[in-house]
Structure 1
Amino acid sequence: MFRNSLSRGASAVALLFVIDAHTAFSQESLPTIDIGSAGAGDRTPRRAETRAPLDTVAPAASRLDLTPRQTPASVHVMTSDEMRERGFDQAQDAVAAFPGVIVGNNPISPTSYSMRGFTGNQITVLRDGVYLGPANFINRPANSFNVESVEVLKGAASLLHGQGAIGGVVDIRTKEPSFGPTRFDAFVNGGSFGTVNLGVGVGAQLSDDIAARLDVSRSRSSGFVKNAPSDSLNLTASMLWKPQENFSVKLGMDFLDDNMSPYYGTPLVPLPYARSPMTGVVTSSTGLALDQAMRFNNYNVGDALLATTQFMPTAHVVYKPTSEVTFTDDAYYFFADRKWQNAETYTFLGPNNGRTDALGNPIPAGTIARDRFYVYHDQHKLGNTLTMTVDRPILDFDNKFLLGADVNSTHFVRDRGFPSASIADYVDAWNPNQGTWGLYAGEWPIRRSPTRIDDYAALFEDVLTLRPDLKLVTGARYEFERLDRVNYNQNGTFSNTTSFRRNFHPFNFRVGMIYDVTKDISLYGQYTTAKDPIGSAIYVVNAAQNFNLSSSRQYEVGAKASFQDGKGEATLALYEIHRANILTQTTQNSASSIGSQMSRGVEASANFLITPQWKVSVNAAYTYARYGFFVDPATLVIGTGNRPPNVPTWTANLWTSYSNIADLPFDAGFGLRFVDSRAGNNANTLFLEGYVLADIGLTYHVTPGVDATFRVNNLFDKTYVNWAEVSYPGEVILGAPRSVTFGLTMKF
Structure 2
Amino acid sequence: MTSLRKLSVTFCMLFTVFYSLAQEQKGSISGTISNGNGNLLSFSTIYIDELKKGASADDLGKYMLEAIPAGTYTVTVSEIGHYSQKETVSLEAGQNLRLDFVLKENITALQTVEITGRKEKNYKNTSSFVGAKTEIALMDLPQAVSYATKELIADQGVMRIGDVVKNFSGVNQNTFYDDIIIRGFRVNGQSNTQLLNGLRTSTGFWKQPLTNYLERVEVLKGPASALFGNASPGGVLNRVTKKPLDEERHSLSFSTGSFNTLRTLADFTGPLSKDKSLLYRLNIGYENANSFRDLQFDKNIVIAPSVSFLPTDKTRVNFDLIYNSSKSRLDRGQSTFKNDLYSTPVSLSLSSANDYLDEETYIVTLALNHQFTDNFSFSASFIRTGYHEDLLEHRGANKYAVDGNGDDIVDLIAMQVFQRQRKRYIDNLSTFFNYKTQTGAVSHNLIFGYDYAQEELPAGSSQLQAGGYRNAANDGFINTYNPNNSSAYLLDANGNPVPNVAHYDLNNRIASQQLKDMSKYFYNAREFGPDFYNSNGVYIQDQLTWKQLKMLIGLRYDTYTDKLNYTTNEEKNVNQHAFLPRVGLTYSITNNINLYGTYVEGYNPQSAANMDPTLGGPFDPLTSKMVEFGGKSTWFDGKLDATLALYKIVQENTLYNVAGTDELEQIGEEESKGVEMDVTGRIFPNWSITASYAFNESSITKDADGNETGIQKPNTPKHQGNLWTRYNVKQGIFKDFGLGVGTNFVTERVLQQNSDQTIPGYTLMNAALYYQINKFSIQLNINNFTNKTHWVGGYDYIRLFPGSPRNYLLTVGYSF
- TM bucket (normalised to shorter chain) is 0.7 to 0.9
8 Å Cα contact 2:401/2:503 also seen in 1: no
Aligned pair partner of 1:119 in 175, 179, 186: 186
Correspondence for 1:19 = none
How far, CA to CA, are the matches of 1:514 and 1:101 in structure 2?
24
How far, CA to CA, are the matches of 2:517 and 2:436 in structure 1?
60
> Residue 478 of structure 1: SS of its match in structure 2?
strand
How far, CA to CA, are the matches of 1:236 and 1:93 in structure 2?
21
Matched, 1:597 2:649: no
How far, CA to CA, are the matches of 1:631 and 1:265 in structure 2?
30
How far, CA to CA, are the matches of 1:628 and 1:700 in structure 2?
52
Deviates more, 1:243-252 or 1:317-326: 243-252
1:539: Cα distance to partner? 6.8
User: Any unmatched runs of 5+ in structure 2?
Assistant: 1-41, 43-56, 63-77, 82-108, 467-476, 480-498
- The one-letter code sitting in structure 2 at the alignment partner of 1:335 is G
Matched, 1:426 2:503: yes
Q: 1:310 to 1:152 in 2, by over 3 A?
A: same
Aligned pair partner of 2:267 in 182, 192, 201: 201
How far, CA to CA, are the matches of 1:396 and 1:72 in structure 2?
21
How far, CA to CA, are the matches of 1:50 and 1:733 in structure 2?
34
Correspondence for 2:349 = 298
8 Å Cα contact 1:409/1:453 also seen in 2: yes
- The one-letter code sitting in structure 2 at the alignment partner of 1:415 is S
Q: 1:550 to 1:60 in 2, by over 3 A?
A: same
1:51: Cα distance to partner? 9.2
Matched, 1:471 2:550: yes
- The one-letter code sitting in structure 1 at the alignment partner of 2:761 is G
> Residue 120 of structure 1: SS of its match in structure 2?
strand
- The one-letter code sitting in structure 1 at the alignment partner of 2:534 is D
Correspondence for 1:619 = 692
> Residue 398 of structure 1: SS of its match in structure 2?
strand
- The one-letter code sitting in structure 2 at the alignment partner of 1:741 is L
Deviates more, 1:713-722 or 1:217-226: 217-226
1:79: Cα distance to partner? 1.4
TM-score where L is the length of structure 1: 0.83
Correspondence for 1:273 = none
8 Å Cα contact 1:70/1:514 also seen in 2: yes
Deviations along 1:248-289, one digit per CA (max 9) or x if unpaired, are 21112111111344332111213xxxxxxxxxxxxxxxx433
How far, CA to CA, are the matches of 1:461 and 1:731 in structure 2?
44
- The one-letter code sitting in structure 1 at the alignment partner of 2:155 is E
How far, CA to CA, are the matches of 2:634 and 2:217 in structure 1?
21
1:589: Cα distance to partner? 13
Correspondence for 1:309 = 360
Aligned pair partner of 1:504 in 573, 576, 579: 576
How far, CA to CA, are the matches of 1:475 and 1:481 in structure 2?
20
Q: 1:441 to 1:41 in 2, by over 3 A?
A: same
1:549: Cα distance to partner? 1.1
Q: 1:117 to 1:687 in 2, by over 3 A?
A: same
8 Å Cα contact 1:556/1:576 also seen in 2: yes
Deviates more, 1:688-697 or 1:202-211: 202-211
Aligned pair partner of 1:564 in 636, 648, 653: 636
- The one-letter code sitting in structure 1 at the alignment partner of 2:646 is L
Aligned pair partner of 2:717 in 637, 642, 648: 648
8 Å Cα contact 1:80/1:148 also seen in 2: yes
1:49-448 mapped onto 2 (5 Å cutoff):
53=124, 56-106=126-176, 110-121=177-188, 124-133=193-202, 138=205, 140-180=207-247, 182-207=248-273, 208=275, 209-270=277-338, 287-292=339-344, 294-345=345-396, 354=405, 366-413=411-458, 414-419=461-466, 420-422=477-479, 424-432=501-509, 433=511, 434=513, 435-436=515-516, 438-439=518-519, 443-448=523-528
Aligned pair partner of 1:629 in 699, 702, 708: 702
How far, CA to CA, are the matches of 1:230 and 1:594 in structure 2?
38
Q: Percent identity?
A: 22
1:1-16 mapped onto 2 (5 Å cutoff):
none
- The one-letter code sitting in structure 2 at the alignment partner of 1:95 is V
1:430: Cα distance to partner? 2.9
Aligned pair partner of 2:597 in 525, 541, 554: 525
How far, CA to CA, are the matches of 2:254 and 2:290 in structure 1?
17
> Residue 557 of structure 2: SS of its match in structure 1?
strand
1:139: Cα distance to partner? 7.1
Q: 1:569 to 1:409 in 2, by over 3 A?
A: closer
> Residue 321 of structure 1: SS of its match in structure 2?
strand
Deviations along 1:454-495, one digit per CA (max 9) or x if unpaired, are 211102221011x2100111112211111102279xxxxx69
8 Å Cα contact 2:462/2:525 also seen in 1: no
> Residue 226 of structure 2: SS of its match in structure 1?
helix
8 Å Cα contact 2:627/2:648 also seen in 1: yes
1:90: Cα distance to partner? 2.6
- The one-letter code sitting in structure 2 at the alignment partner of 1:450 is P
How far, CA to CA, are the matches of 2:803 and 2:664 in structure 1?
36
8 Å Cα contact 2:337/2:410 also seen in 1: no
Deviations along 1:161-199, one digit per CA (max 9) or x if unpaired, are 21122111111111111223x210211111111111211
8 Å Cα contact 2:124/2:680 also seen in 1: no
Aligned pair partner of 1:455 in 535, 552, 560: 535
> Residue 402 of structure 1: SS of its match in structure 2?
strand
Matched, 1:485 2:590: no
How far, CA to CA, are the matches of 1:139 and 1:154 in structure 2?
24
1:224: Cα distance to partner? 0.5
> Residue 212 of structure 2: SS of its match in structure 1?
helix
How far, CA to CA, are the matches of 1:675 and 1:612 in structure 2?
31
Deviations along 1:22-48, one digit per CA (max 9) or x if unpaired, are xxx9x977899x945985599xx9996
Q: 1:675 to 1:261 in 2, by over 3 A?
A: farther
> Residue 164 of structure 2: SS of its match in structure 1?
helix
Greater relative CO, 1 or 2 (CA 8 Å, sep 6+): 1
How far, CA to CA, are the matches of 2:121 and 2:302 in structure 1?
30
Q: 1:255 to 1:720 in 2, by over 3 A?
A: same
1:37-56 mapped onto 2 (5 Å cutoff):
40=111, 53=124, 56=126
Aligned pair partner of 1:657 in 704, 726, 743: 726
How far, CA to CA, are the matches of 1:503 and 1:588 in structure 2?
28
8 Å Cα contact 1:31/1:52 also seen in 2: no
User: Any unmatched runs of 5+ in structure 1?
Assistant: 1-24, 271-286, 357-362, 489-493
8 Å Cα contact 1:572/1:603 also seen in 2: yes
Correspondence for 1:279 = none
Q: 1:708 to 1:421 in 2, by over 3 A?
A: farther
Measured on the aligned residues, the alpha-carbon RMSD in Å equals 3.3
> Residue 344 of structure 1: SS of its match in structure 2?
strand
8 Å Cα contact 1:299/1:346 also seen in 2: no
8 Å Cα contact 2:295/2:351 also seen in 1: no
TM-score where L is the length of structure 2: 0.76
Q: 1:268 to 1:179 in 2, by over 3 A?
A: same
1:103: Cα distance to partner? 1.9
1:96: Cα distance to partner? 1.9
Deviations along 1:339-376, one digit per CA (max 9) or x if unpaired, are 343222266758956569xxxxxx98733321223443
Q: 1:321 to 1:717 in 2, by over 3 A?
A: same
User: Aligned residue pairs: how many?
Assistant: 672
1:403: Cα distance to partner? 0.4
Q: 1:370 to 1:577 in 2, by over 3 A?
A: same
How far, CA to CA, are the matches of 1:89 and 1:251 in structure 2?
24
Deviations along 1:686-726, one digit per CA (max 9) or x if unpaired, are 1110000000000011x223210111101100111111136
- The one-letter code sitting in structure 2 at the alignment partner of 1:426 is H
How far, CA to CA, are the matches of 1:381 and 1:311 in structure 2?
11
How far, CA to CA, are the matches of 2:388 and 2:654 in structure 1?
30
> Residue 307 of structure 1: SS of its match in structure 2?
strand
1:563: Cα distance to partner? 1.6
1:609: Cα distance to partner? 5.3
Q: 1:516 to 1:343 in 2, by over 3 A?
A: same
